[in-house]
Structure formats: structure tokens, C-alpha cells
Structure 1
């Protein structure tokens, strides 16, 4: 697996051999232009997703030539890339081998492709391509029951695949895989954005008034888990009594939870869906809203836009109230389990690998 330097340790920690391509950091590409000037993030959903696509495309331009060098020593029969791993499709086109595009969450990415193509035009021209190449196979992890609740996408869902949670492999503590006796459990995470809150790269503000929120949840006799990078956790622990804070393996811990509260990140949402856990989303951007609307429409989640609260409303109070309502209503858990069953019925990754192998066969 080839990737940027910042994630090669994560690749190794899940047991996959990795190769570093570039030292660029995606968060910096999202928040700074090539001249080092801070980018004002677009507010509109269409433009914001185009900006995300442009950021991933900038990353792809740093990856392409190192990828090409890698294939001179180790030539692939098939190139598999994530939804916005644009270098994968370009490399496959250059080598004349099949390209497989694998989605990593449920949100359509047509807008991001539009933004990416703007940035990649010089590289497309160099490769003799008029547009982004279409994949030979599109792997779709969105469960069928959610697809009617999402915006239409031009991408064909050719090959469905079961989404399976995975984390860095580390020693577990018993509390990570056992439910607390007689208490409900709520997991809070900002995903990769938690790093931005405590090591700001751009103009980023905290997602939630955590201290007040944790106090309200613990008063409801709820055990609170907060998944955060260690550097962020060190700053949070002294101020958040009664919460477990730090590295939390979602693949292990999510099934022990009664509710997940998060920002609408695709991987976090998929972890909750596959574990059958109700979710409360407080998205800041269009990406999270797409996921929040789908889960709300299915009945396994709710969405709360805290920035739309009236001046007199306390965000922590409103979030805690939503948590209390969802924990008290068994329908959310029932619908969440139905969604997990829908995911579990999809073809497992080993079955899909056989299809990929056949694509690369001489």
C-alpha cells in the first residue's frame, strides 16, 4: 500500500506493508494554498466539496511520480484506490492496467471529482487524458437501504462490499470491549479533526463545549468515552472528570456503546453503522450533513446543527437533551441494528478480492 508519509505508521499498524510517497499533509492542503496563505473555506455545500476535491488532487500531484517510480521496480496487475485517491486512477491509466475505485463511506463524491479535475488538468494533459479516467470497477460500501436516502451519484455501484471496522493493532484494556454494568455508554469523537482542534493548522474552533457536555451526560449516569489523539487527550483529561479519554479502538468499543456523538465523519459513521449503534451528528459542513440526513431518514440517527440554535440556547444542553431522548427511545437502537444487518449481508472483502484477482489475470 502506497500513501503519504503521515499515514504510513497507521498502514503498518494494521498489518499491511507500506511505501511512503510524499510528506505533504492533507490538512495543510485543505487550509493553505501553494503560497502558504490561509484559505477561507467555502460555505456552500457544492463549493466546499469541490474544495475538498481540489485538496486531494493537490496531494495526488505530489504522489504520481513517486508512484510511477515504484512501479518500475514493482509492477501491479491492478491498482486499487480510495474514493479520492486520484493518483491511483491516473497511474492505472499510465500503466494500462485495471483501476478499482473503492468508496470508504456513504457520501457521493461527484462534486469532489469536479474540483479535482480542475487541479489535475496539467497532469491529465501530460498523460493524454481529456478527463479523469473512469474505474474498471467501482466498489460500493453503502448499504442498499441507505442509497435511496442519498443524493444521486453518477458513479455506478457495480460491486457491493461489506464494510468492516479496523484500527491500529494495540493492546486492549478490558473496559474497551465490555459494557459498564448498569450504565449506558456514549462515545464522543471528532475523528481526525480532533487533532486540528488542539494543534490548529487553520482557523478551527472546538466542535462542542466538552466540559459542560460531559458534566451533563455523567449527571444522567452515562459513561462517556472520548476518542482523541494522545496529545489532545493530555490537554482534555485534567478538565473532563469522569470521562475515559484517549485512543479508543472503534472496531472493539463501538459495539459496547448505546450512542455515538460525532461530527459526521464518513469512517466514524460507518463504524457506528456496522456496529449497530444509534448516532447523533453535529456536522459543520455539507459532507456531514449528507450522512446525517441519511441516518435520520432511516431512523437510526439524528442531526443537530448547533450553529443554527437561537442565541439563548446552550449547545451543551441541547446536545445532552438529544442524547437523553435517543437513549430513552428503543426505536433508534432497533433501526441501527437493522442497518448493521443490512451491511453484514453484503459480500465480504475476500469475495471481492477474487473479483480483483480475475481482473488482473493475464
Structure 2
């Protein structure tokens, strides 16, 4: 059986679907994973076959409309969510025809897409095959989907659809205690790290004498953040007499090593996370999931409206704290770090979420269900 997985423009969207794609492949099915060209190394880096649907980077879809004109980022939280949906919608629109062309030679029996890989539903509807949607983190898409639907109105009309296609199977990796009220029925699946690996050094999997704090702004730090901010953040945390590890792409890490004097670079976060006492980050979904999987408390500095809500839920469960954008001064961050590191309740609550995740069915069980769906 041929099963196409579609990611949506960033390494995180690749890493999130990689465990299920690998499980489907291990079950004996033929698997391709599609993405924009600059994500091909992320796909092949986790051992999966890659298909490029566009040579344009994600930044183009974020900052420009279909005519190539600049698109300003709105300040209103509701409008910002729809803005996110629109840029993923633009990526989906550009990806549709290349995937239709692929299907003329390699026709998938099932199409699987991450939460915001909207082309997956469009392609499945076009081909008349089952569509599976997998959540990639704990972020709700209820505010994002309308923006994608508005952007994709021409493509939906061509398919005779009045809205985004409903999946035949919704797979949700969100821990049960973090699912929002009224969330749709879904097939739960245990979240498993799917990030790219590297040669391990002993410090990555052993603890030192001091507490360890990992600081990261995710894999898109050069796109979404000023590297100087990351350096200032690492320096603020380092003032607490802790060991600081900065997880960042190598091109950003070169500057960070000079500025902060801490360990910095691309590290396998799933390995390093288990040696940490705290992870400080921007609210990235995969980073949050990695911390929860490892049972590590989090200090979350949400950089957008759509990351603020799930960050608040983690804090409400006592597994971390959040600092709102604009209030993330060095003093506020160090005070929050001190609170988390000094109160063992944060660690206990984070461990409880990790136990929830471990109790969910693994990707292999869901892979079997997808195989049945395609055969039906």
C-alpha cells in the first residue's frame, strides 16, 4: 500500500509526523513524505523518503500573499491565528498541483497530513482516498483553520467543497489532561520524539554537578527571532549558577558560542532533555512535547497567540510557568527559573504528564489502523 505523509514547512512539522510515518513504513507499506525543498534534509535526516513540492521557503508564504505582495502580521490575537492559517493555506495551494503530478505516477492509497498541512485533505479529496489528520502538538487549530479555509476558497470550490475536508481519521498526540474542552473525538496516540540525531557525546546523556537548563528558540530561530535575544536569554539563565545548554541550529550557534560561552549547537533534544531540570523555550509545540515526554518542567515564553494557549494549560497543570511576550525581561525570567528549580512540585507534575503520554497507544497501533483504512 502507498501512503503519502505531508508536512508543512518547518522541521518541527517533519519531526512530529516522523514516528507515525516510520511505523507505517515498518508495517510494510511504501511511504513518501512531502514538504517544501528546504525541509528535504529534515525528512531524509530521520530516514524517510522525501518529495519536494516547492523550492520556495516557508518565509515566502509567511510574508507574502499569492501575488507576491508583503503581508503585515496582525497584532490582534484572533486575526493572528487566521493569519497563520492563511500562510499554511498558501503553502497548501502551491503544493497541490505538484502532488497531483506525483499521484499520476505514484498514487497514494491514504494521505496523512499534520495539523496544518492542509494540502493533505485537498489531495485526498481530489483523489477520492482516505484522509488522516495527525495533530503535531497540543495547539488547537480551531482559530487557525478558518484562515486556511478562506485562503483556499478557490481550491475548495474547484473540488466542490464548502469548507476544509473532514479527516476520515483524526489522530491526536495531546496528553488527555491537556485536551481542550469540546475537542473533537480522536484516536489517541503516544507522542514519540522524531527529531534528527547526531553523534552522542557523554555530556549529552549524563548529569553534571550543577542543575542543567536547556534554552532553545526552536529550529526556526533565524526566521522568527533575533539571535541576540537568544544569547541574552542564555546569559540571564546562566547567572543562576546552573549549567546552560543552548539548542539551536549550527548557523545560529556559531554566534552564540562567542557571546555566551555555553554549550550551543544542534543537539538531539530528546536525549538531552532527560538530563535537564528545566527547559526554557518559545512555546514551540514539538519542544513542549519533548519536555513533557521527558517529564521536565518548562518555562515558556510564547511568541504568538497560538502558542500562548497550550502554554497556559501546561502552567495550569503545575508543570511549568509562562511569561508573556513583552514581559520577558532578564529579571522576570531569572525569577521564574528560580521558582521552578527550587520547587519540586513542578517536577512531580511534569512527571505525571509524562506518565499520561507513556500510557497512550504507540504509533504501531495507529499504523495498523491506517493500513485497514486504506484497504477498505
In the aligned structure 2, how far is the partner of 1:208 from the partner of 1:334? 30
Do the aligned partners of 2:248 and 2:266 also contact (CA within 8 Å) in 1? yes
Corresponding residue pairs, total: 344
In the aligned structure 2, how far is the partner of 1:318 from the partner of 1:79? 45
- Partner in structure 1 of residue 222 of structure 2: 195
Q: Offset of 1:268 from its aligned partner? A: 0.7
Q: Secondary structure in 1 aligned to 2:152?
A: helix
In the aligned structure 1, how far is the partner of 2:176 from the partner of 2:237? 34
Q: Offset of 1:355 from its aligned partner? A: 0.5
Q: Offset of 1:206 from its aligned partner? A: 5.5
Please give the residue correspondences for 1:159-174 in structure 2 after superposition, counting only pairs within 5 Å. 159-174=187-202
Do the aligned partners of 1:208 and 1:316 also contact (CA within 8 Å) in 2? no
Do the aligned partners of 2:36 and 2:55 also contact (CA within 8 Å) in 1? yes
Spell out, residue by residue over 1:210-243, the C-alpha distance to the aligned partner (whole angstroms, 9 max, x if none). 34x44443343201011111111111211112x1
Task: Note if 1:184 corresponds to 2:211.
Answer: yes
Q: Offset of 1:192 from its aligned partner? A: 2.9
Task: Note if 1:260 corresponds to 2:279.
Answer: yes
Pick the aligned partner of 2:114 from 82, 87, 103: 82
Runs (5+) with no aligned partner, structure 2: 1-32
TM (norm. structure 2) is 0.87
Q: Offset of 1:36 from its aligned partner? A: 4.2
Do the aligned partners of 2:237 and 2:333 also contact (CA within 8 Å) in 1? no
Q: Offset of 1:284 from its aligned partner? A: 2.5
In the aligned structure 2, how far is the partner of 1:11 from the partner of 1:85? 15
Do the aligned partners of 1:258 and 1:277 also contact (CA within 8 Å) in 2? yes
Root-mean-square deviation over aligned CA pairs: 1.7
Runs (5+) with no aligned partner, structure 1: 198-203, 310-314
Q: Offset of 1:167 from its aligned partner? A: 1.6
Q: Offset of 1:357 from its aligned partner? A: 0.5
Q: Offset of 1:37 from its aligned partner? A: 4.1
Please give the residue correspondences for 1:298-337 in structure 2 after superposition, counting only pairs within 5 Å. 298-308=317-327, 315-337=329-351
Do the aligned partners of 2:231 and 2:259 also contact (CA within 8 Å) in 1? no
In the aligned structure 2, how far is the partner of 1:131 from the partner of 1:33? 21
- Partner in structure 2 of residue 142 of structure 1: 174
Spell out, residue by residue over 1:254-273, the C-alpha distance to the aligned partner (whole angstroms, 9 max, x if none). 11110000111111111111
Q: Offset of 1:194 from its aligned partner? A: 1.0
Do the aligned partners of 2:277 and 2:296 also contact (CA within 8 Å) in 1? yes
TM (norm. structure 1) is 0.91
Task: Note if 1:220 corresponds to 2:245.
Answer: no
Task: Note if 1:234 corresponds to 2:254.
Answer: yes
